[in-house]
Amino acid sequence: MKKKDKVSFIVNTLESLYGEPEIPLKHKDPYTLLIAVLLSAQCTDERVNKVTPKLFTLADNPITMSNLPVSKIQEIIRPCGLSQTKSKAISTLSKKLVKYHDNKVPNSLEKLEAFPGVGHKTASVVLAQAFGISTFPVDTHIHRLSYRWCISTGKSVKRTEEDCKKFYPKNLWNKLHLQIIYFGREFCPARAHNPNKCPICKIIGRKSMFK
């Protein structure tokens, strides 16, 4: 299958299944999204969505959050795991937003990555979902599927991101990011995956996976 045909097949299949993919993490603005994405590291979106309502009831903006004791933040976010590290990061980045960014989340990859607890993927998600800036955040689902679909080598997340950006049209990056995540969860899981029944893998999956 030629590249353009492969792209069309993947895009059309995902579009037919997830035409209007919802942002999985509940939020109301760039700040609450940033906090939710930070909490989602090594944690499920479902669990984050159960924790953030209580946190955001107490503090849903940088000023209020920066005035909360770190111990209180940690107490609330404990179910998300890594609570000690994450609570300190949330408190510190909130204070930096107040002091250096006029209480507003910057729409710059470099500035976002400078905050504690905010890595490249988190920053990319915020840019895509809060500001509509074209990025291609790579999570475990996208990394796995990109290898299975012969789009990337699977050697690193960084390489997968580079390969995806070359493979897919830029104007579709933000939507595809969400569509592939939903597809990975429903049809192409890490375990108990049957490539012969997967709508995409059965057509373009690595043949070695079928053995």
In contact, 145 and 44? CB cutoff 8 Å: no
- Residue 139 designated active-site: yes
Please return the burial class of 12, using the count of CB atoms within 10 Å of its CB with bins 0-12, 13-18 and 19+. Answer: exposed
CA–CA dist 196, 63 (Å, integer)? 52
CA–CA dist 133, 9 (Å, integer)? 25
Label residues 171-183 b or e (16+ Cβ within 10 Å = b). ebbbbbbbbbbbb
User: Which of the residues 86, 121, 163, 175 is marked catalytic?
Assistant: 121
User: Which of the residues 6, 26, 88, 139 is marked catalytic?
Assistant: 139
- Residue 165 designated active-site: no
Q: Which residues are catalytic?
A: 121, 139
